[in-house]
A and B are shown apart, each in its own frame.
Chain A
Amino acid sequence: MGTGHGHRLYRHGDTVVHRLPAHTKLVALVLFVLTVVATPREQYWAFGAYLVLLAAVSVAAAVPAGFIARRMVVELPFVAFAILLPFIAHGPRTEFLGLTVSESGLLGGWNILAKATLGVIASILLAATTEPRELLAGMRRLRVPPLLVEITSFMVRYADVVTDEMRRMRIARESRGFQASHLGHLQVVARSAGALFIRSYERGERVHLAMLSRGYTGVMPMLDNRVTPSNAWLVAGAVPLLAALIAATAWSLT
Chain B
Amino acid sequence: MHVPDGFLNAPTSVATGVVAAAAVTVALRKVRDEQEEKAAPLAGLTAAFIFAVQMLNFPVGVGTSGHLLGGALAAMLVGPWTAILCISVVLLVQGLLFADGGLTALGTNITLMGVVTVLVGWGVARIILGVLPRRPASVVPASFAAALVSVPVAALAFVGLYAIGGAADLPLGTLALTMVGWHSLIGLGEAAITAATVSAVVGVRPDLVYAARGLQPVLELRSGGAPVPVPVAASPAPPRGSLRPVLLIGGAVALLLAGVVSFFASSSPDGLEYVAGENGFLETAREHVLGNLPLAGYGEVGGIPVGLAGILGVAVTITVGWLLLRLLVRRRTRPTAEPARSMERV
Interface residues of A (CB under 8 A from B): 7-9, 29-30, 33-34, 36-38, 41, 71-72, 74-75, 78, 85, 88-91, 102, 104-105, 107-109, 111-112, 114-116, 118-120, 122-124, 126-127, 132, 135, 145, 147-148, 150-159, 161-163, 165-166, 180-183, 185-187, 189-198, 200-201, 203-205, 207-208, 211, 218
Please list the 6 inter-chain residue pairs (A to B) with the smallest Cβ-Cβ separation, ordered nearest first. Answer: A154-B44, A115-B6, A108-B168, A194-B200, A119-B5, A190-B196
Residues of B within 8 A of A (CB): 2, 4-7, 9-10, 13, 24-25, 28, 31, 37-49, 51-53, 55-56, 58-59, 77-78, 85-86, 88-90, 92-93, 95-100, 102-104, 166-171, 174, 192-193, 196-201, 203-205, 208
Give the CA-CA distance A116 to B201 in the complex, in Å. Answer: 39
A203–B170 CA distance with the chains assembled, in angstroms? 47
What's the Cα separation between A114 and B56 when bound, in Å? 31
Contact of A123 among B37, B95, B192, B196 (CB under 8 A): B95
Q: Can you list 24 A-B contacts (CB < 8 A)? A: A7-B97, A9-B97, A30-B103, A33-B5, A33-B103, A34-B13, A37-B6, A85-B168, A88-B174, A111-B6, A111-B168, A115-B6, A116-B7, A119-B102, A127-B97, A147-B31, A157-B44, A159-B48, A166-B55, A190-B192, A197-B53, A198-B205, A201-B46, A208-B42
Instruction: Determine the chain B residues whose CB is within 8 A of the CB of A166 once the complex forms.
Output: 52-53, 55-56
Residue from B28, B102, B197 within 8 A of A194 (CB atoms): B197
Task: Determine whether the beta carbon of A115 is less than 8 Å from that of B5.
Answer: yes
Least distance between A138 CB and chain B CB atoms (Å): 10
Contact indicator B40/A154 (Cβ below 8 Å): yes
Chain B: which residue is nearest A148 at the CB level? B28
Starting from the known contacts A90-B171, A156-B97, A201-B208, 17 additional A-B residue pairs (CB-CB under 8 Å) come to: A36-B6, A37-B5, A37-B13, A37-B104, A74-B98, A102-B168, A115-B7, A116-B7, A123-B103, A126-B96, A145-B25, A151-B39, A180-B58, A182-B59, A191-B200, A201-B42, A204-B41
CB-defined contacts of A183 to chain B, threshold 8 Å: 59, 192
